[in-house]
């Protein structure tokens, strides 16, 4: 059980309540790497939903980019899918994300500014003895023990010495619609080769774009959504032998319809 995954599931807010129940059931059985493989029967028992509703909820969660099929299969039959929860942050990552950098005060020392203390340049006038002929014969009132006269210090920031902290927190990436400049680069093609995905990625990418543009989908990471789509293309891909059989069957129907006109009734 992963507390981080369960907290993430509550905040994920899927589109349907059935999807939330299925996502909570999966998060309750996620490991430290945020993967899980509960069977359909287990999720039906956890959520009190029927098998059809559970399968529909899984499909919806994949389309929303909250989970993805890793391609691994486990269990005695080797047919239980291993899912990856997408976007779960660990406790260390959450603390780093919410940490605030401490403000450092400026020190008026010769090491950082070369300004000598107790001088007119630093905003503080020195205390002079009374009736001192060395400064022009000006008489100062004898008020020993009084505080020195101070001027308002220069408040202009010293930008030459300041630099952004190394651990400054970054803004959370917001969800957006399908980007117009979305393109498949060489890194994504290499990922397809590593996963052994042989589906025509150009056609699948076009179907992916048309589907989400028409639906108005919102994702934080469109590349991750594309990878999920390509993983699912393996499941829906029709083998070449089946395609040939379908084509042959259609041709036979067309030939039979064409022979109707030649039949002598």
Closest CA to 61 of 33, 29, 90, 25: 25
8 Å CB contact between 66 and 40: no
pLDDT at res. 166: 60
pLDDT at res. 182: 92
pLDDT at res. 27: 87
Chain segment 4-44, per-residue pLDDT in tens: 888 888 888 888 899 899 989 998 888 888 899 899 999 99
Q: List the CATH number of the domain containing 8.
A: 1.10.10.10
Among left, alpha and beta (phi > 0; psi -120 to 50; other), residue 183 is beta
pLDDT at res. 122: 53
Indicate if the pLDDT at residue 160 is higher than 50: no
pLDDT at res. 226: 93
Mean pLDDT, the chain, integer: 75
pLDDT at res. 63: 92
Chain segment 67-88, per-residue pLDDT in tens: 999 999 998 888 898 999 888 8
User: Which residues 6+ apart lie within 8 Å of 166 measured at CB?
Assistant: none
High-pLDDT (> 70) share of the chain, %: 58
- Answer yes or no: is 185 within a domain: yes
8 Å CB contact between 18 and 49: yes
Place of tokens 């991750």: 224
Among left, alpha and beta (phi > 0; psi -120 to 50; other), residue 47 is alpha
Chain segment 108-145, per-residue pLDDT in tens: 544 445 544 454 555 555 555 555 444 454 554 555 55
Indicate if the pLDDT at residue 239 is higher than 70: no
- Answer yes or no: is 82 within a domain: yes
- Answer yes or no: is 129 within a domain: no
- Answer yes or no: is 169 within a domain: no
Structural domain ending residue among the three candidates 57, 72, 92 = 92
Largest separation between any pair of C-alpha atoms in the chain: 142
pLDDT at res. 115: 46
pLDDT at res. 165: 58
Structural domain ending residue among the three candidates 34, 59, 92 = 92
Distance from C-alpha of 112 to C-alpha of 106, rounded to nearest angstrom: 9
- Total domain count for the chain? 2
pLDDT at res. 261: 59
Helix (H) or strand (E) holding 44: helix 40-47
- 53: β partners: none
pLDDT at res. 93: 64
Range of the domain at 230: 177-259
pLDDT at res. 205: 93
Structural domain ending residue among the three candidates 32, 64, 92 = 92
Chain segment 180-193, per-residue pLDDT in tens: 899 999 999 999 99
pLDDT at res. 217: 92
- Answer yes or no: is 238 within a domain: yes
């Amino acid at each position: 059980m992963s507390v981080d995954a369960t907290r993430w599931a509550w905040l994920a807010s899927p589109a349907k309540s059935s999807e939330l129940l299925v996502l909570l059931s999966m998060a309750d059985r996620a490991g430290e790497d945020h993967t899980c493989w509960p069977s359909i029967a287990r999720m039906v028992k956890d959520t009190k939903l029927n098998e059809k509703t559970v399968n529909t909820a899984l499909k919806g969660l994949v389309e929303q980019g909250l989970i993805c099929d890793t391609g691994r299969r486990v269990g005695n039959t080797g047919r239980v899918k291993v899912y990856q929860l997408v976007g779960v942050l660990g406790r260390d990552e959450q603390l780093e994300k919410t940490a605030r950098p401490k403000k450092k005060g400026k020190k008026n020392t010769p090491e950082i500014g070369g300004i000598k203390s107790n001088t007119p340049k630093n905003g503080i006038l020195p205390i002079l003895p009374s009736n001192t002929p060395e400064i022009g014969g000006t008489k100062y009132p004898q008020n020993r023990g009084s505080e020195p006269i101070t001027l308002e210090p220069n408040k202009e920031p010293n930008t030459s010495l300041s630099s952004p902290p190394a651990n400054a927190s970054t803004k959370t990436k917001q969800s957006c619609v399908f980007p117009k400049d979305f393109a498949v680069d060489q890194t994504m093609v290499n990922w397809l080769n590593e996963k052994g995905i042989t589906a025509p990625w150009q056609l699948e990418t076009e179907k992916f774009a048309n589907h989400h543009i028409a639906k108005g989908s919102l994702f934080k990471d469109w590349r991750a959504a594309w990878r999920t789509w390509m993983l699912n293309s393996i499941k829906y891909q029709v083998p070449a032998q089946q395609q040939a059989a379908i084509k042959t069957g259609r041709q036979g129907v067309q030939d039979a319809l064409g022979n109707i006109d030649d039949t002598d009734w």
